[in-house]
Structure 1
């Protein structure tokens, strides 16, 4: 038997090794073809999710192809594809899709980068008319945008607002560093957002020329994955796209690259709004292809290297006194045919040299001594475990995942052989990868040529920044240190110091209609089980009991709100947090205790195979938490350092102001400060943590996913049934924190860019009911549609206005609505007036029936998706139980949405959105 297995394995190895230089074949489950005009298509049937289809139109067209007069027009063209095509003039395309339940921006979207432009369209697949029109939309996008001059002029303002949103310290410094990093190649002068001069002044003929030259079938592909008939759709695609025409005089689609010059470069830039000092060392290399089996093996070696190096930096960051705020190194993609070894440090104030040397030392240690066999074994185990978990889910893979694979295959020739083939490659190659091979990676990547050193810092630190010679002396100093090989700190102890005694299930109730089993354990713990078939290898869970930080005084609040994170940072049972990560090698698991304002509990996930370990962790975090004085001091010092320049960042200052005003300046909601950090007492935090989890009788656990009740019940009895119980149930306290009434205006003047942020907040008491919640959900969707139509499309004043409505039952029945947008400072008042006008119309006239229909279509689509999703069910069940609402409410949706009418929404708006309590908050540039 062993001989036969070995023979089969040897033959397998022989076949694959002989094929190492051959291109890996495309996933056989996808049907692909190329039309005579060069147009490519990929079609795959996939029923996850059922009755849905995802379509992508990929174009090998990006900003790198623009002439000087066209800078920004690849991206502008993407915008114009939504502003009028042959079969969907003006804004009819977005309007039609919203009626079909597709949200603009969230579902319907597109993106433009240096080398590509991609349009995405998810649709219902069970409506032949919508599916037919979806293909027509793709056909229109491919070559039939209208590009009307007046629509172009309207879109200029929108694109300028998108450009404005990206402005700030990071963008200003990028403009200085980007050319150097990209070796002054064409990429350096072709940022997709373009230039203001071009965007505001180009003639329509210029963008039409770009469209005609580059939107052509030999550079395009349609990718369709979903619950569809492949043969039928293939016939439709051939009919629809065969008549696409390439230009008579085709321009050559040049493949641009970033050249390797052999130079070493240095740049230091400062900005008054930069909150921290960052140093990067980027060592550039020609990127490896990922086309053949040999390429795939090389990528696995790099992946193992990155994983092990990441673990070392993680361990370094968890020292009692970490030498930096953030630090690490890894092999990363760049662009233009390059990748790089990227070393990055976010330094503590005044400790740039210390932080940089610590990070460089870790890379140098790996270069000199390599990794240990135990590190490699763990990395391999993680790879194989992840692959095993993915393979078990292969029949439940989301369509979006397949689309992205085929997208990379078309755009970048990245191999997409399918998960079955990948699994074979992983299981063939991973065991045979040697420590010597992985250790060679750092020697290959850490070179002293093609190296860029970048420093980005606050302007006030400009005089103290090192020059190139100084940074090189730091590198040389570390390189000359007598370093020792890394010692892998592992433990052979069991996870827990003690064993749970175990309990018993004393009651079991079944709700056949909802498919929920409710168990009561002898210690009072309740457990809800909902078995699903949405995934084959996933269980998600949560737990809660009432109380939270609300039970503690303001003076103890900082200790209470940080109690869970400080305890987790120390580890659990016999293990520090670093040792725990190693102990959990190869397990697909996540468990995190939390203490919120009104509840405490757990969030977690695991595969069925690893669920017992997850329950051990839950038991351990309750019965064997750890406290670590050194880790605590390190976290406090790190947090304080991170706050040093917070006041220089306009967005942080505005965010803190918003929180303060909306909480009526309650100390629990205002921004972080050194004084607040000093209030954290480790002993007090640890005692609060233990107190919050000392009585499990109030805990309710919810498990959703691929559950085997017969296997799970004994585990629940063993680990949850043994949790300590006192039979005392706390109730959360009403702290009286809510948005203040009346009309309030607050303006923050911060920042140098001509950009503004606006928050308009409406709030007040609310009559909480499921029916009213649905009506407020309707207004959230409808008002966002109106803000898009008016502030963006009609007035060209914003890029992406947002409307968010929240309702609460506890501690008080209240609501709040926030309308937010970014814009030019000169347009703030007019846009606020327009937004207020829309809110006023809501109460006076109610919505249009058309917009109600859009909400219902989108709501129905979201509901259908949520009913087939484990995490959505977990969120729903958890929320219903915390709010003391019936679990059967999920069945009331049709009745509730049936009561969403023009009249009923008009009444709701008149009652709640009347402007009696209205707060306007604005961030404006410094005067």
Structure 2
């Protein structure tokens, strides 16, 4: 964060640079135990019981790709991979193998990342197993300095990293290689993209990566962050014992701090690519970043957030015009890279309307620069900011450990203050009232400057000859600057959301389930409400609802109108408010409410804090009873949607995705991809009528509420806003459209794209014996196959980065399953890797999985359920899913026993049943040049 002058206390007091330098940094959150060992190794420990019996370890290294020498480009990231491929106490792949047996999932739980300036490893573990906890610390110690870097493992991992690099290839990557040096002013950041170069990755010698490891993986650049249900004193002593003997190298290299230097010039670049789907323009104003370390800098961060929030709302209002001038557009201040912040103005243009869209976006930045924001806008922004802090403070005792970790990572790696929510809240309460409008308005002039400005223009290749040059874009900027603009008018409705307050219904039946901890209410209109109060959060209520019907009740001719109705109609606002008025009414409130219509049901989902729960229910009531209709806004939505689809066929991934949907859906019009012709089929009148049909009658509606509420206190609100919904008592069940994955064997290749990359999707499908035990069994089959594909396709053949196996089962309209294997690879490896996949499936069918892999699946499932079931979101999904499928709410009671009953023989039988090969679909995306060979 950076502004040219630090202003405090309503702008009356200005500090000199010397005074700022003398200001003390904000203290670290007192709940954190921190220290630095004699060798420079830092640690941060915090006790936190959310979730219970869990701890997360993060090893942070101030080591990234900017530290690589020319012959090491890509090796910071490669080193991250090698930490999983052999350490002192876990040779070869034993680390992943051991953790999987302990219930830790590779990729989902056990993971790492490498960026320009840092490399971070993460390991979440249960704390109820002392041996595993000690092993976890040993793993972190090994990662710090004990990687073996076996040449055999290095050579095996080359292919994996190259496949990861391959996944990123495409139009965006091709253009980034051209504009990155320009916007980064040819700094070291422009030359050290973390993924590296093919030449280095293919040819580096083991001693080259050992040199990088020796130079930079050292205690004075490292920190261990431990947050979870642990004893702080004991953990601190363990860290001192385990990490105190780490050694810094003799004659160690200085850890240079690289930056992006500002040249004081303006730059322009225009790029096109045949696979780009839209024309975009971005203007970046770069300036030095101010660290967030002191109280005064924290105050300025509040000012910047207020500015961004108000500016964002201006653009949101502009996008809701009847004829919006762009697909999307906006501006704001944010962090950039290499010690810089930036003011970013961006636009996705409608086809043929780049000038119009750009001027519209630029006009709003110019309007803010000239006239600033209004006092009413600032008041709303302040209230919203304060409400956010209030909500965070109320959850301070139920904050997830990962959230704390992110704070301490920023503290160690970037020096960002982490004083804790209590201290932040107190600063906000103190500073927020005194922030004056002129302080916020001043930011436009400080960021919106005449130098250090980059203009980046990207477009489809076919539009190359019609694109503007730098002089033309500059003339657009000047034209807007010379316009006679008026100040923004902040029009706020004084009307209530609901014109006439609803007549409350009554609870006619109450059924308590003490074992499940639920209460089932039946309201006088027949609507059922299942309530589960929890203590997982202190200020969170989640809810969802369904009723049978959905788009299945409408003919194909109405399908587009029906499928889009729940997206279109609520966008017009609700009750007395148009969308802009509704947005201002909801400003500062912590809630979300979203109606939906799926194929077999319709309903609503939402969330709110306790304070704003009644407003959420009020909004829910209006969405059901007082939908709005706006022809002009509808035309604007349609125009933006058409613009976004204009060049969809350029992008290989979209073409492949649409092909997959079409093949799996037997080319039914409801399964094929979006087109301009389909958008033309949407009728506002028909969408509005269908919306009212689906939401105008609450018959058959079932709600589920989960969270931090009291049932007796919530009941009057439910009676008022849900019990008052009109209901005839009759509802139409969903229809079976008989759109199933086709039977037999199908193979299809899509040739699209220029990069040497392929995508493979394999499908098996058929009838399914739908019950809890069988769902557990097919999930075990999925996991055992994924483990083997990871071991063979990635570790054994170095042919993929991350193979995935997915399973879907359904009860309605038919009991069916879909089994999917997917991976990306080089085109030359497609047939080989498919053959390897089918060979692993054949082995499962003839030999079954190893007991070890079954044990890994069981351990992962148990640990995942333990953690996930301590969240409101899991319970909402579980209860709603059981209700919508008419399944037993107590099915979870047998989950553990169902897991224990799964054996290798049972999985072998499942493999033969579900992966028999009679119904097999093989879909492959290959580059266009492969079609000629």
What is the TM-score normalised by the length of structure 2?
0.97
In 1, the alpha carbon distance for the partners of 2:580 and 2:418 equals 35
Mean CA deviation greater in 827-836 or 18-27: 18-27
In 2, the alpha carbon distance for the partners of 1:585 and 1:408 equals 29
Which residue of 678, 693, 706 corresponds with 2:695?
Answer: 693
Q: Is the 8 A contact 1:43 1:225 kept in 2?
A: yes
The DSSP-based 3-state class of the residue aligned with 2:592 is strand
**Alpha-carbon displacement from aligned partner over 1:621-665 (angstroms, at most 9, x marks no partner):** 111110110110001111111111111111111110000001010
Report how far residue 697 of structure 1 moved: 2.5
Q: Which residue of 1 aligns with 2:580?
A: 578
Q: Which residue of 2 aligns with 1:752?
A: 754
Asked if residue 429 in structure 1 is aligned to residue 431 in structure 2, the reply is yes
In 1, the alpha carbon distance for the partners of 2:629 and 2:864 equals 43
In 2, the alpha carbon distance for the partners of 1:892 and 1:693 equals 37
Which residue of 273, 280, 283 corresponds with 1:281?
Answer: 283
Q: 1:256 to 1:735 in 2, by over 3 A?
A: same
Q: Which residue of 2 aligns with 1:564?
A: 566
In 2, the alpha carbon distance for the partners of 1:905 and 1:573 equals 54
In 2, the alpha carbon distance for the partners of 1:129 and 1:272 equals 56
Asked if residue 108 in structure 1 is aligned to residue 113 in structure 2, the reply is no
Asked if residue 484 in structure 1 is aligned to residue 496 in structure 2, the reply is no
The DSSP-based 3-state class of the residue aligned with 1:231 is helix
Q: Report 1:791-802 matches (<5 A).
A: 791-802=793-804
Structure 2: tracts of 5 or more residues without a match: 1-8, 14-18
Report how far residue 19 of structure 1 moved: 11
Q: Report 1:515-530 matches (<5 A).
A: 515-530=517-532
The DSSP-based 3-state class of the residue aligned with 1:180 is helix
Q: Is the 8 A contact 1:20 1:294 kept in 2?
A: no
Report how far residue 579 of structure 1 moved: 1.0
In 2, the alpha carbon distance for the partners of 1:587 and 1:415 equals 27
The DSSP-based 3-state class of the residue aligned with 1:356 is helix
Q: Is the 8 A contact 1:805 1:818 kept in 2?
A: yes
The DSSP-based 3-state class of the residue aligned with 1:609 is coil
Q: Which residue of 2 aligns with 1:669?
A: 671
The DSSP-based 3-state class of the residue aligned with 1:267 is strand
Q: Is the 8 A contact 1:169 1:273 kept in 2?
A: yes
Q: Which residue of 1 aligns with 2:727?
A: 725
In 1, the alpha carbon distance for the partners of 2:310 and 2:846 equals 62
The DSSP-based 3-state class of the residue aligned with 1:499 is coil
Which residue of 885, 895, 902 corresponds with 1:893?
Answer: 895
Q: 1:260 to 1:18 in 2, by over 3 A?
A: closer
**Alpha-carbon displacement from aligned partner over 1:158-212 (angstroms, at most 9, x marks no partner):** 0000000000000000000000000000110000000000000000000000000
In 1, the alpha carbon distance for the partners of 2:873 and 2:534 equals 11
Report how far residue 20 of structure 1 moved: 8.9
Report how far residue 694 of structure 1 moved: 2.2
In 2, the alpha carbon distance for the partners of 1:362 and 1:847 equals 62
Q: Is the 8 A contact 1:43 1:224 kept in 2?
A: yes
Q: Is the 8 A contact 1:19 1:293 kept in 2?
A: no
Aligned length: 914
Q: Which residue of 2 aligns with 1:84?
A: 86
Report how far residue 866 of structure 1 moved: 2.2
Q: Which residue of 1 aligns with 2:922?
A: 920
In 2, the alpha carbon distance for the partners of 1:879 and 1:642 equals 34
Q: Report 1:7-26 matches (<5 A).
A: 21-26=23-28
Q: Is the 8 A contact 1:663 1:669 kept in 2?
A: yes
Q: Is the 8 A contact 1:357 1:478 kept in 2?
A: yes
Asked if residue 656 in structure 1 is aligned to residue 658 in structure 2, the reply is yes
Asked if residue 869 in structure 1 is aligned to residue 868 in structure 2, the reply is no
In 2, the alpha carbon distance for the partners of 1:32 and 1:908 equals 51
In 2, the alpha carbon distance for the partners of 1:489 and 1:732 equals 43
Report how far residue 18 of structure 1 moved: 11
Q: Which residue of 2 aligns with 1:317?
A: 319
In 2, the alpha carbon distance for the partners of 1:445 and 1:294 equals 19
Q: Report 1:535-684 matches (<5 A).
A: 535-684=537-686
Report how far residue 795 of structure 1 moved: 0.2
In 1, the alpha carbon distance for the partners of 2:619 and 2:408 equals 39
The DSSP-based 3-state class of the residue aligned with 2:333 is strand
Which residue of 362, 365, 372 corresponds with 2:364?
Answer: 362
In 1, the alpha carbon distance for the partners of 2:64 and 2:21 equals 34
The DSSP-based 3-state class of the residue aligned with 1:159 is helix
Report how far residue 253 of structure 1 moved: 0.4
**Alpha-carbon displacement from aligned partner over 1:482-530 (angstroms, at most 9, x marks no partner):** 0000011210000011110111111111001101000111110111110
Asked if residue 881 in structure 1 is aligned to residue 896 in structure 2, the reply is no
Q: Is the 8 A contact 1:20 1:292 kept in 2?
A: no
Which residue of 337, 340, 345 corresponds with 1:343?
Answer: 345
In 2, the alpha carbon distance for the partners of 1:839 and 1:229 equals 45
In 2, the alpha carbon distance for the partners of 1:769 and 1:788 equals 29
Asked if residue 854 in structure 1 is aligned to residue 872 in structure 2, the reply is no
Q: Which residue of 2 aligns with 1:784?
A: 786
Q: Is the 8 A contact 1:285 1:338 kept in 2?
A: yes
Q: Which residue of 1 aligns with 2:195?
A: 193
The DSSP-based 3-state class of the residue aligned with 2:246 is coil
Q: Which residue of 1 aligns with 2:354?
A: 352
**Alpha-carbon displacement from aligned partner over 1:669-710 (angstroms, at most 9, x marks no partner):** 101111111110101100100001122121111110011122
Q: Which residue of 2 aligns with 1:224?
A: 226
Q: Is the 8 A contact 1:20 1:293 kept in 2?
A: no
Q: 1:66 to 1:29 in 2, by over 3 A?
A: same
Q: Which residue of 1 aligns with 2:718?
A: 716
Q: Is the 8 A contact 1:272 1:459 kept in 2?
A: yes
The DSSP-based 3-state class of the residue aligned with 1:141 is helix
Q: Which segments of structure 1 move beyond 4 Å, counting only runs of 4 or more? A: 17-20
In 1, the alpha carbon distance for the partners of 2:907 and 2:346 equals 52
**Alpha-carbon displacement from aligned partner over 1:85-142 (angstroms, at most 9, x marks no partner):** 0000000000001011111111100000000000000001111001100000000000
Q: Which residue of 2 aligns with 1:120?
A: 122
In 1, the alpha carbon distance for the partners of 2:103 and 2:437 equals 53
